[in-house]
A and B are shown apart, each in its own frame.
Chain A
Amino acid sequence: MILGKTKICPFKEDSALISKINYKEYKFLRKFITEQGKIIPAHVTGVSAKYQRLITKEIKKARIVALLPFVNDPRYN
């Protein structure tokens, strides 16, 4: 197994970012979804479990009001 560098949670480094975990800040939440619109797992982004829980909830709210996509097919855009 190849050991990569240890990831640090971006919200623990900069606590100002925590207030940006909100469905209205959909542009910020784009960092945590793939091009297809899937939520990126925490072990990839390095976000701690506490904030990953908040992020998923807010992304799902943003999807309801069409600020973020449920699915996004890059072939049709």
Chain B
Amino acid sequence: MNFYETMYIIHPALQAGRLEDMIDNVHKKIDSLEGKRLYYDNWGKKKLSYAIDKQKYGTYVLMQFTMDGVNVQELSNEFEHNANILRYLTNRIDETEILEQKEDIKKDHTSLAEDKAPITTESSQKTNEKVEEESNSSKEEKNDSKEEENKSEKTEEE
């Protein structure tokens, strides 16, 4: 089992619900290939440095996982044949490069986490949740500011 990191760009036309379905599909694919997800982060809609398939914007998603090297090719096929994924990049990474998960995935992996480390007091868990909420809200603010930037750029172009 090696550690891998994949960054992929989703078509900007996909919004909220469909976007989540899309990401869920990728996660399911990894699970079905006996991979274990370690980190997931949605960078949100960003301007691309150059147009891909005539699209100027795209939603960036970053994830890290462990998987058998043989199955990575199959995951690449999945990305390759998905018309809504503009671009993807899979890298083999070192164990030390694994980022700490902030939200989302923790809920899915609570059972796994409990198996590994059952010694967690309730109070510490609560504080963790609070921190997560705070980080979420700060993220949303960041996204808002990004959108504003994008808007201003658009107006300049016009």
- How many inter-chain contacts with C-beta < 8 Å in the A-B complex? 27
A66–B50 contact, CB under 8 A? yes
Question: A64 near B: Cβ within 8 Å?
Answer: yes
Chain B interface: which size bin? 10 to 19
Question: CB within 8 A of A64: which of B60, B62, B87?
Answer: B87
Contacts of A28 in B (CB 8 A): none
B87–A69 contact, CB under 8 A? no
Bound CA–CA A64/B87 (angstroms): 8
Bound CA–CA A33/B138 (angstroms): 31
Specify which of B7, B62, B87, B91 lies most central, judged by the most chain A CB atoms within 10 Å of its CB: B7
Question: A65 near B: Cβ within 8 Å?
Answer: yes
Bound CA–CA A69/B88 (angstroms): 16
Contacts of A65 in B (CB 8 A): 7, 9, 60, 87-89
B62–A66 contact, CB under 8 A? no
Residues of B within 8 A of A (CB): 7, 9, 48-50, 52, 58, 60, 62, 87-89, 91
